[in-house]
Amino acid sequence: MIRVFIGFDPRETAAFHVLSQSIHARASEPVAVTPVMLSQLGGLMTRERNPLQSTDFSFSRFLTPYLCDFEGWALFMDCDMLMLDDIANLWKLRDDDYAVMCVKHDHVPEEDTKFLGAKQTKYEKKNWSSVMLFNCAKCTALTPDYVNTASGLELHRFQWLDGDHLIGEIPHRWNHLVAYDETVPVSEVSNLHYTIGGPYFDDYKDTDYADEWFDEKDAMLRCDQLSKSG
């Protein structure tokens, strides 16, 4: 079973469901999708919301290994994404030599704000944590107490590990940053990440790869009617 945890924010409900649809529609193996939703965490997240926090799951994402009882592997994804590939192809990249695996972006955004007026932040390892393959048994530092008290930089820069040698790399195609990375044919992309703002927001409805997102939404809403006979 491929275990997938997707960050959930009520302002991006449509994004969560379209991403989930895009995963299931292409998966060749059983997939269990779990929303990382604050209302379902039973009070595990007690830290106050940070003014720099752009989504509800900015920090709760790091509870993924804990939610898996620190056993096996699990994948975390931001909700503002669209899967264009069989997720089993990403899952098979797991390497037990590492505690976590991700796309190692060199991402330095130039803008000061992103979707819904959220402040754009700049820091080392920006966007590395937006897609993470967790080797949960090697992530025992991520207890609820730590996730609630560590700084945002400590969490997102992976300072809860003993060193960067425990961070494995996955191919860039699994976290393509829309409107930052060069626009390429969708055949060269496995996972689109609308990090500055998804096409479900009016301000970004014409962003790169918007058509792909709207096509997936239409596929999700499909409901064929049986024709009546006789």
* pLDDT band at residue 230 under the 50/70/90 scheme: very low
Helices marked H in the chain — which ranges? 13-26, 64-67, 87-91, 144-149, 152-156, 210-220
Nearest to 201 by CA among 213, 215, 189: 213
- Whether the predicted model's global pTM rises above the 0.95 cut: no
Q: For residue range 123-164, what is the model confidence (pLDDT) as tens digits?
A: 678 899 999 999 999 999 999 999 999 999 999 999 999 999
Looking at residue 99, its amino acid is A
Nearest to 81 by CA among 182, 1, 4: 4
Token code pair at residue 17: 């469901």
Residue 119 pLDDT > 90: no
Report the alpha-carbon distance of residue 17 to residue 10 in Å, rounded: 11
Architecture of domain 2-220: Alpha-Beta Complex (3.90)
Looking at residue 167, its amino acid is I
Q: What percent of the chain has pLDDT over 90?
A: 80
Q: For residue range 158-209, what is the model confidence (pLDDT) as tens digits?
A: 999 999 999 999 999 999 999 989 999 999 999 999 998 999 999 999 999 9
